[in-house]
Structure 1
């Protein structure tokens, strides 16, 4: 029978290399975690409360909006009646306002995205004189408040007789300096220089290389820019308010503001404003639900690179 020798004690090197048990969270850790969770919960409640009130308001009649609890639905649940009345009000103006807003948002965001991606690609991949100075000048536009340039834009549009037209809203929103920044950051990591050289060696020109290679590889970043610009245009209020006075060209925000200003003449406009505000959020929700994964991926990759 063979005797089993006792195991040798571990050496100093083995003791240092051995994994140490993870320390148990202390009071400070729980305090930091609890504080962060509490702040997040307060921010979430602050953000969601107006939306909850709006959803309950859609179910109510005009007397119930003034005389019932704002955070309780109506017993009659008048959603369908309210939506039908909304689109029938003033000859169906709200439907036209939605189409106008969709035109401004989709058209403006699409052109702004293409221009931003092309500019970011050029600043990243081409070496030209004063490149960084031109880039700094473009990015400087992010620092200028949007409201500060509305009056100069209006004076320019009035000079060329383009106020009260679709172009007075579309042209200013086709430029997005922040989109140029995101596009350059994304291009620097998403497009290998070797791939562009291979395309040029195959005889592709710069435009074909951009549309066939660069634009395809930058698709997640372009989607992020598109969503940012779409939301900004959809919620834009001050620019259409200054540029447009024709009811048929109003955006949703401008139209609801007009109704809210006329509540003294027609109290039922209060109900229309509440229902219209709720309906105006539906396109944003429908856009974000299917695209949020791609949007977050593009934003994260652009931020890291």
Structure 2
């Protein structure tokens, strides 16, 4: 029972997460008339590549532009946001200064504030500076990652030995160089985790682009597919394009996870201190 119960629970959780992806893949491989007339969990005529071609050619390839926008929003924000979160968390963990704990508590408060509560104030701020309906209206707010700061501080406290930092200082290494040459490498598993969390959050962000953007050319893929989905009743062929687009839109997330999971290693600092 000690083994079978956890296995049953894990099996049920696996099915819960994988069945929707399987349904999406099967649905994307069907023609529009087969989507509602065949078994939703099994293939009919395999038209996936034809459907992808139709998606890419629809309205002069606007879907590809949306994907490029999402990659620009997400890739840049995740990289810069991870760097900022790592530096902030490292400073909170390794330097003692007045108000450090108060500042950390403010960061924790930021973790608890839902994104929906910040969407309208952000819109009003960007309206004042006339930056709504621009790339920066989505990109700049996406750089902030309070949870990443919290995770970076916890990991830096546990994985970066004080003795190693003192040794680096005695060797003449500056604080910035010590962070990038030593501490960031010891924190690398945490940085990968922060990057993935941030990447997924920004890629799936829907409310902020919905409020900030009105120009279709600036839409990320999530908002673009939503705009198509609202027109399904008037243009039925969009249903198939939405399904194929949804399948392709999760591909960067899967690729990022599969590529970065090998960096989740613990004990990178073991043996660094005698």
Q: Distance in 1 between matches of 2:106 and 2:218?
A: 33
Which structure carries more relative contact order (alpha carbon 8 Å, separation 6+)? 2
Provide Cα deviations, 1:175-196, integer angstroms capped at 9, x if missing partner. 1111111111111122121222
Q: Note the 1:135-214 alignment, pairs <5 A.
A: 135-214=104-183
Q: Distance in 2 between matches of 1:203 and 1:263?
A: 65
Structure 1 residue 52: deviation in Å? 1.0
TM-score, length of structure 1 as denominator length: 0.84
Q: Distance in 1 between matches of 2:161 and 2:16?
A: 44
Instruction: Verify: 1:50 aligned to 2:5, yes or no.
Output: no
Provide Cα deviations, 1:251-300, integer angstroms capped at 9, x if missing partner. 111000011111122111000000000111111111111221323x369x
Equivalent position to 2:81, from 86, 102, 112: 112
Provide Cα deviations, 1:206-264, integer angstroms capped at 9, x if missing partner. 22222222222222211111011001111111111111111111011100001111112
Equivalent position to 1:63, from 6, 10, 33: 33
Q: Note the 1:207-286 alignment, pairs <5 A.
A: 207-286=176-255
Structure 1 residue 33: deviation in Å? 4.1
CA contact (8 A) 1:221 1:298 kept: no
TM-score, length of structure 2 as denominator length: 0.93
Give the structure 1 partner of residue 6 of structure 2. 36
Q: Give the superposed CA RMSD.
A: 1.8
Provide Cα deviations, 1:23-70, integer angstroms capped at 9, x if missing partner. xxxxxxx1x544433333222222222111111011111111121111
Provide Cα deviations, 1:112-146, integer angstroms capped at 9, x if missing partner. 10011001110111010121111111111111111
Give the structure 1 partner of residue 272 of structure 2. none
Structure 1 residue 82: deviation in Å? 0.2
Q: Distance in 2 between matches of 1:193 and 1:136?
A: 23
Provide Cα deviations, 1:121-173, integer angstroms capped at 9, x if missing partner. 10111010121111111111111111111111111111111111111111111
Give the gaps of 5 or more residues in structure 2: 270-274
Instruction: Verify: 1:123 aligned to 2:92, yes or no.
Output: yes
Give the gaps of 5 or more residues in structure 1: 1-29
Q: Distance in 1 between matches of 2:11 and 2:186?
A: 37
Count of aligned pairs: 269
Q: Distance in 1 between matches of 2:182 and 2:16?
A: 44
Rate the CA distance shift 1:179–1:298 in 2: closer, same or farther, 3 A.
farther
Higher CA-based Rg: 1
